[in-house]
Amino acid sequence: MSPKSEHSELSALKAENARLTALLESHGIEWRQSTEPSPTIREPEPIRLSAAEKIALFRKLFRGRTDVYPVRWEGKTPDRSGYAPACANDRFTRRKHSRSKPTQGPRIIGSLSEPQAVICRKPTIKCGDCGNRDLIPLSDDVIYKHLSGAHTVGVYPLLEDDSCYFLAVDFDQEDWRDDARAFMESCHELGIPGALEISRSGRGAHVWIFFSGRVPARDARQLGSAIVSYTCSRTRQLELTSYDRMFPSQDTMPNGGFGNLIALPLQRAPRDNGCMAGATPGFPRHRHRRHRHHRWR
């Protein structure tokens, strides 16, 4: 590399560093390394919390909309699955609350507690266009059933005022391990606490960054983009090939929708299969121990 090229690259890295520093300071994130000697870090004793305390901690971290939440559905074949807003009149949601076998033909469905019948016409009519939609709010019981394996739910991170409580960055292509590791190392260098989650499939990862309060989704996404750019510069890559998207996925709420959902972590089935752990083989133990995962039995 010629001296001129090296000088140009050095100038670009300095400019990028100055931009990241300004972005961190605008969000009140301390990035300067302490001059005091680091104390000896001892592995903390296991934190013993009640089920109610664990649920409260989980909901404090993974905060999104509480008036609606998505629930995972699965078809007769493994390739047919997805998420839909939890609805009291949805036939899948009702099957989760009822022991009765589903009937054949048109589904005439009543509310969970009353015999009055309404019709769920999904997929002929989309949930957003359904006049019979009765959304179910998120509750402690819903979270408990998710963590204990009764069902799988997600969260809509984009709030109605276009703000959010967390940023999640998704890696799901062939190089996801290397890219997620490099992203976590960048967070560590920049003093940004990040929590690593292995996806339920075991073939991808999410990095979660939690904020102390609401921040504009636009700012959160800009922070994520800045860390991705910093990672590319630090590792001398043109791009992180496995980087897929961020959650929230929009700066502002789309008309008539809830924004993109993200599945909540720590559901029992993939957790028991070794996925969704905070630190896994091949990944360094970064400073996210305060987000330690508890066993839900």
Asked if 22 and 83 sit in the same domain, the reply is: no
Residue 254 lies in a domain: yes
pLDDT per residue as tens digits for the range 94-136: 555 443 344 333 333 333 434 345 577 777 877 777 888 899 9
Asked if 163 and 202 sit in the same domain, the reply is: yes
Last residue of a domain, one of 155, 178, 201: 155
Last residue of a domain, one of 131, 155, 179: 155
pLDDT higher at 236 or 155: 155
Asked if 286 and 181 sit in the same domain, the reply is: yes
- Give the CA radius of gyration of the chain: 22
Residue 199 lies in a domain: yes
Residue 168 lies in a domain: yes
Residue 48 lies in a domain: no
Q: What DSSP string runs through 8-74?
A: HHHHHHHHHHHHHHHHHHHTT---SPPSSPPPPP-PPPPP---HHHHHHHHHHHS---SS--EEEEE
Asked if 86 and 114 sit in the same domain, the reply is: yes
Asked if 235 and 188 sit in the same domain, the reply is: yes
**Residue 120: CB partners within 8 Å, gap ≥ 6?**
87, 89, 90, 91, 107, 109, 130, 132
CA distances from 207 to 31, 194, 222, 285 (A): 19, 6, 15, 13
Q: Evaluate if residue 30 carries a pLDDT over 80.
A: no
Does residue 76 sit in helix, strand or coil? coil
Domain that holds residue 284: 13-29+158-291
Asked if 151 and 162 sit in the same domain, the reply is: no
pLDDT per residue as tens digits for the range 236-265: 887 888 999 999 999 999 988 899 999 999
